[in-house]
Structure 1
Amino acid sequence: MNHIQKLLFITVLLSSSVAFGQLTEDPDERRDQGRDPLRTQTPEGRPLPFGQRLRFGGGINGFRFGNPFSLGISPVVAYQATEHMIVGIGGSYTYTRYKAYTNTGSTVPYLTYNQYGGRGFVMYEFIPSILPNLYLHGEIESTTIQQTENQTGRTAAFALTSPLLGLTYSQPISRRFGVNLTALYNLNYSNNAVASLIYSSPFVLRLSFF
């Protein structure tokens, strides 16, 4: 058998092996190729362990430079309860400083705010076949603000509990991490001094990562 015949024989043998492998491949595996991984199960259909359903993340909130200066953080721990439901808890801390001008034109610290909060939330992907990754979002948030007058040292504290409802769109980066844009409406908003310190509007927008 010359070299050309040997090459043709090997090519036919390899082609037959590939074709046989494609025909005998597990039909379930072939059918699921290209699909997103399940959020609560392994590819074999076994439930994921508790730790592999957890998500960790958060965001930066109240970010402002100048007068006032404000910066906050909001860590989040979330749990993939079902394929379409996420439950979680979060905390927040925001530091805000206002400055006032004196008669000489210099600036001195005037008011300092330390804002602490905690929240529990539920997200439900309600129309995954039409708009995947769009969630109904509901939460209860409790916030406390400690106000300090820097010149006098006098302090005061305010507290507010806010139920919020709205939507979250989550852009997945991996099975356990995504970028989340949330729009909520504060059902307990009122245009009084305490509420205005926490939220300047009944509408709340957030960008978070978990």
Structure 2
Amino acid sequence: MNHIRKLLFITALLSSSLAFGQLTEDPDERRDQGRDPLKTQTPEGRPLPFGQRLRFGGGINGFQFGNPFSLGVAPVVAYQATERMIVGVSLSYTYTRYKAGYFSPTQGITINQYGVRGFVMYEFIPSILPNLYLHGELQNTTYQQKVDQTTPITGSVTAPLVGVTYSQPISRRFGVNLTALYNLNYKPSDPISYQVYGGTPFVLRLSFF
């Protein structure tokens, strides 16, 4: 029940963050001139205040109904450091439940994953492929697995990931992001790493910020 309450709270936070991002409009003056809106300056060329460079959003991961049931959320706060660079942090929580009969005829399994990551995105060839970013991040995930009426098994894994993100802007401070990453620290022989990353060094992610 506590995990369900946590999940509902994070989902509400994510929803409000998405709504905030969608209300952010582009500078009309610059768009009327046929140019893309600046990300760190006003149409008059003055630097945008810190608060107007922030981007809020997140994503939903591990979505699956039935047996197993799985659902996760990952709120994001990002900052437009320069016209071509975004830095940010994200928290994540994923709940997975295998009912009795999946692995054992009498016992179910509950898995909780708590994560935090910091990331950097750099738009490296805007004149050729705008909105395509080199993406690097460091991610730490704590993993807890509990078979009914037994002591939980816990562990953590830290991994650097590198790849690319394509961002489709919706407004100056909000977009849809498709990310493809490779885990440089993936170890298939490590059961925690195997469980957290689903048996593959590749990570695909859809997020909104």
> Same fold by TM-score, threshold 0.5 exceeded?
yes
Unaligned 5+ segments in structure 2 are: 1-28
Distance 1:153 1:30, change over 3 A: closer
Deviation at 1:107, TM superposition (A): 6.7
Q: Quick one: distance in 2 between partners of 1:158 and 1:62?
A: 19
Q: Which amino acid aligns with 1:204?
A: V
SS of residue in 1 equivalent to 2:99: strand
Task: Tell me the residue number matched to 1:203.
Answer: 202
CA RMSD of aligned residues (A): 1.9
Closer, same or farther: CA 56–114 of 1 in aligned 2, 3 Å = same
Q: Over alpha carbons, which structure has the higher Rg?
A: 1
The higher relative CO (CA closer than 8 Å, separation ≥ 6) is in 2
State the partner residue of 1:179.
Answer: 176
Cross-structure match for 1:35? 35
1:189 equivalenced with 2:176 (yes/no): no
CA shift in 2, pair 1:94/1:32, >3 Å: same
Deviation string for 1:31-55 (max 9, x for gaps)?
A: 9711111000000000000000000
Partner residue in 2 for 1:169: 166
Tell me how far apart the structure 2 counterparts of residues 45 and 131 of structure 1 sit (CA, whole Å): 25
**In structure 1, what is the equivalent of residue 3 of structure 2?**
none
CA contact (8 A) 1:99 1:107 kept: no
SS of the residue aligned with 1:194?
Answer: helix
Deviation at 1:196, TM superposition (A): 1.3
| Secondary structure of 1:120 counterpart | strand
SS state of the match for residue 138, structure 1? strand
Q: Is the 8 A contact 2:30 2:37 kept in 1?
A: no
Candidates 144, 147, 152, aligned match of 1:146: 144
Identity %: 74
Whether contact under 8 Å (2:72, 2:92) holds in the other structure is: yes
4+ residue runs over 3 A deviation: 29-32, 106-109
- Could you say which residue in structure 1 is the equivalent of 2:116? 118
Tell me: CA distance 1:208–1:38, structure 2 relative to 1, closer, same or farther (3 Å).
Answer: same
Mapped to 1, the partners of 2:100 and 2:72 lie a distance apart of: 22
Pick closer, same or farther for the CA change 1:110–1:51 going to 2, 3 Å.
Answer: same
Bigger mean CA offset, 66-75 vs 113-122: 66-75
Matched residue type, 2:155: F
Distance 2:30 2:140 in 1: 49
Shift of 1:153: 2.9
Does the CA contact (< 8 Å) of 2:183 and 2:202 recur in 1?
Answer: yes
* TM-score with structure 2 setting the length: 0.81
Q: Secondary structure of 1:206's partner?
A: strand
- Unaligned ranges ≥5, structure 1: 1-28
CA distance in 2, matches of 1:36, 1:187: 35
The residue that corresponds to 2:16 in the other structure is none
Residue aligning to 2:84: 84
Partners in 2 of 1:74 and 1:48 — Cα distance? 27
Matched positions, count: 178
- Superposed displacement of residue 100, structure 1: 2.8
Aligned with 1:100: secondary structure?
Answer: coil
Please give the residue correspondences for 1:85-100 in structure 2 after superposition, counting only pairs within 5 Å.
85-100=85-100
TM-score with structure 1 setting the length: 0.81
